[in-house]
Structure 1
Amino acid sequence: MTVKRKAILIAGPTASGKSGAAIGIAAATGGVIVNADSMQVYRNLQVLTSRPTARDEARAPHRLYGYMDACVACSTGMWLNDLVKVLSDIWAAGQTAILVGGTGLYFRSALEGLAEVPEIPLEVRNKWRDRLAAQGAEALHGVLSKLDSTEAARFEPGDGQRIVRALEVLEATGKPLSWFHRKARHSAVLAGADVQKIVVRPARDVLYERINNRFDEMMNEGALEEARALLALGLPEDLPAMKAIGVRALGEYLGGRCSLDEATQTAKRETRNYAKRQMTWVRGQMADWTMVDTARNAIAVVCDEAGKSYGPGQRLAP
């Protein structure tokens, strides 16, 4: 018997409402929600990453959330290997997989496979990062355009992180990053599947208000205590979990180096900046995805395509 492989992908910036959309879609389709956020894999970061609550998990099955310790440096490859197993189980049960998160590389690796790029020498990495800091993203985009105009056309001029990555790979290997993507080490796990791709993208002022309000809610729900417990583990600062937004800012307060209000404002600002970077990725990498401005509209798009109606007695996410 042929197994039906259906997946609904829901991306978007932090605080956009995509998790609420996933719960609504799971209720409408009987699907299983799968994490596609690099920080929500950590069990030590329930509050600061807005991981689904026990109430959320009671409304729909969730997978790949809070299953790694903070001492683990979870890579895209590790997550992708775990995703393969989870999707196999979901599809074998005849269910729809609903991948939701804000990590663009996770989505790309699931759709296109994961490229095996050789280790880049530290001096090359530092060279281009220093030039980014000194000259800015647009200037480096111009450099990349002169070296490889085809490769440069893949990136937004303001996407400094990805432009630097392209330049360092090109210098170190003599090949464009796209060459390695074509030679992807992992076969794309979603290749051949029935995939629906949606981005929840609120207006900027709406998103920023949600970000500010959500961090206030996090503080009321124990974000400070969570940061204190994580920092008490004495883990290396370069681990991914230690770089979660809010950890460093609240650590400054706990260390007596700033006020709680200053720490809170710093965390909100860092979250807004992160949302900007996520939206840059969306513009550059997800142009062919369906764009909606609310979770409610994301649910409607899925239900319209599936020919289902979302029950009037159910609560729609805002």
Structure 2
Amino acid sequence: MSNASLRPRRSVLYMPGANERALEKAKTIPADALILDLEDAVAPDAKADARKRVAAAAASGEYGYRELTIRVNGPGTPWHTDDLRAAAEAGPDAVVVPKVDSAQTVREVEFALQAAGAPDRTAIWAMVETPRAMLDARHIAAASERLTVLVMGTNDLAKELHAEHVAGRAPLLTGLSLALLAARETGKAILDGVYNDVKDLEGFEAECVQGRQFGFDGKTLIHPAQVEPCNRVFAPSDEQIERSRRIIDAFEEAAREGRGVVTVDGRMIENLHVEDARRILALAEAVSGR
């Protein structure tokens, strides 16, 4: 399975699987991806009905360009096995697995999906949200080619650390950095965690900017109002696009002329800058198709 690392995942919105109206509304929300949730958003006595509803939605083909995923209940819960089986039969773009603490958990999920007949295109997204997961992130990310995305569970991580939720997220920066290093070393995509105050769009946008600066591919969201600013922040800016074009043009011209030194805007350009410029333009092209 190839990792579509440049597939836009700027905005990834959780939608409660028990709420039929929410699942219908999700068809019109301009999020890059949806997580149809069977875990936190669903009460225990509603999980069986939600499972059927979410599986039908995932198999419907009615969500357009949106990457469609199902978040199952975590390993060790009474619903985990049935959730995986239903998700495998529905064949979403990915199955989001919470509380992934080890490479062994990834392998067990992969085996269960294969045994239930999941199509090859159904990836695994692993939620890393505990101290153990942060310290084992590299092994988790490398555990399977079917695993394509790491998802930060920042609320659970803060709880496990006994940390406070503060602007700038200083208590979480070590964990965020460890997971980012693991994702980039293994060629996986990685999504930042949620922002809890849905009314504080200014604080939310500031955290989006921080996540983009860190290197996250996008952010998980809990409210449709967060989609627009998230899409804007995580998309390449006009300035980035223009500079990327200048870098590539200057580098290619220098190569044709046999020059070994290239400068753009007074700065020396190397292969690594050209590779990043090409990545930015590819992402911009993918985003423009939305």
- TM-score under structure 1 length normalisation: 0.30
Q: Which of the two has greater strand per residue?
A: 2
- TM-score under structure 2 length normalisation: 0.31
